[in-house]
Amino acid sequence: MNIHEYQAKAVLKAFGVAVPRGVLATNADAALAACAELGGSDSGESIWVVKAQIHAGGRGKAGGVRVCRSQQEVREAADALLGSKLVTKQTGEAGKLVHKVYVEEGLNIAREFYLSVLVDRENECISFVVSPAGGMDIENVAAQTPEKIMTIAEQPTAAVCRKMALFLGLDEVQVADFTRLIESLYTTFQAKDASMIELNPLILTTEGQLVALDAKFIVDDNALYRQAELLELRDFSEEDPRETEAAEFGLNYIALDGDIGCMVNGAGLAMATMDMIQMKGAKPANFLDVGGGVTVDAVCEAFKLLFSDAHVKAVLVNIFGGIVRCDIIANGLLEAIKTHPMRVPVVMRLVGTNEQEGRKIVKDAGLDVRWADDLDQAASVAAHAAA
């Protein structure tokens, strides 16, 4: 789960990380009021920064981060951003609607760094990634100037922190500050079950202070049950509505960008089904594992989700009945079409527990379903139907 920048900064601040002072605003008046709260004057000396709060980076280049030199500019920036759609490199073409802006005190930037801490699956540990080329797209830095990135796959001891600080070009006095920052980040990361915390940029101000100017924070979904405070920060308006709906019914669903809707039981079989679809030259519209203890209601919701998805051109049902009974899947389909007609071809491969009952229910209802005996055939038929 992702949280907003302003929320991430509040979490980090509580753990001792220096962040700019800021005020959240949902309308232009509130943004103007934020200036007074943060202090500063219209003399031209003060800077405020208005930042669109969306679950995506790349805002700076897309006009979602406005550096303002007067309170009137702050009001105008907030007015322009709120209610607008921001299209950044990370949002996709559809963009993201801006519901909130964060107004911050402007800081004087001497240098910008990149710093992240993440669950490093390859090295099976928590790793730090640092770069003196901050504020930029880190993927580009990695591709063009890999020597400017250092990955540290070890415990952040004092010696390790020092190594990172020197790589960033910090001086002796700043090494101690940097070490404290890393300790705070590492503590936050573990206490909050993060899977990634990224500060891009982490800045050194002209006054010599290290401040997290931007913050991205991803929490491990599997730990949300014990992170009640973070769970409260969830912003459903930022998430795919299809995934939100699926989650309500306990379905493991992930939206993808292909056109074959998948309904499968078991994560492994769902993965294999997606692979098979790709092998037939088509693309899955989603990952869906209906799970073991699935009910007719949940199956019904799953079918509705697939049928109401405009991207879906064919549906592939691949059920290997064990604990899941094929008749439950068939009855779920019958329930779903009461409100969501089968507007696309449905290919069914039903085998295992209550296979005959399942097929009979569908056939007796007179549904135009294409039957397949095995996954290979099912994927071929579905790919063909969607083409």
Task: Please select the residue that binds Mn ion; options are 127, 179, 200, 331, rule is CB under 5 A.
Answer: 200
User: Is the distance from CB of 64 to CB of 78 less than 8 angstroms?
Assistant: no
CB of 134 to ligand GDP, least distance (A): 7
Instruction: Report 298-337 residues binding ligand GDP (CB under 6 A).
Output: none
104 binds Mn ion (CB under 5 A): no
User: Is the distance from CB of 342 to CB of 288 less than 8 angstroms?
Assistant: no
63 binds ligand GDP (CB under 6 A): no
Q: What angle do CA 376, 379, 381 make, to 5 degrees?
A: 110
Task: Please select the residue that binds ligand GDP; options are 198, 214, 259, 289, rule is CB under 6 A.
Answer: 214
Whose Cβ is closer to ligand GDP: residue 106's or residue 345's?
A: 106
Q: Which of 6, 102, 114, 253 is catalytic?
A: 114
Stretch that binds ligand GDP, among 30-38, 58-66, 74-82, 224-232 (CB under 6 A): 58-66
Instruction: Report 39-58 residues binding Mn ion (CB under 5 A).
Output: none
User: Is the distance from CB of 372 to CB of 347 less than 8 angstroms?
Assistant: yes
Alpha helices in 108-226 (DSSP H): 138-144, 158-167, 172-191
Q: Tell me the C-alpha distance between 375 and 384, whole Å.
A: 14
Q: Which of 5, 104, 112, 198 is catalytic?
A: 198
Whose Cβ is closer to Mn ion: residue 91's or residue 200's?
A: 200
Question: Is 114 marked active-site?
Answer: yes
109 binds, among Mn ion, ligand GDP, none (CB under 5 to 8 A by kind): ligand GDP
End-to-end CA separation in angstroms for the chain? 34
Whether cis (ω within 30° of 0) applies to the bond prior to 201 is: yes
131 binds Mn ion (CB under 5 A): no
Task: Please select the residue that binds ligand GDP; options are 63, 95, 135, 250, rule is CB under 6 A.
Answer: 135
User: Is the distance from CB of 228 to CB of 216 less than 8 angstroms?
Assistant: no
Residues in the chain: 387
Name the DSSP class of 322: S
198 binds, among Mn ion, ligand GDP, none (CB under 5 to 8 A by kind): none
Residues noted as catalytic: 114, 198
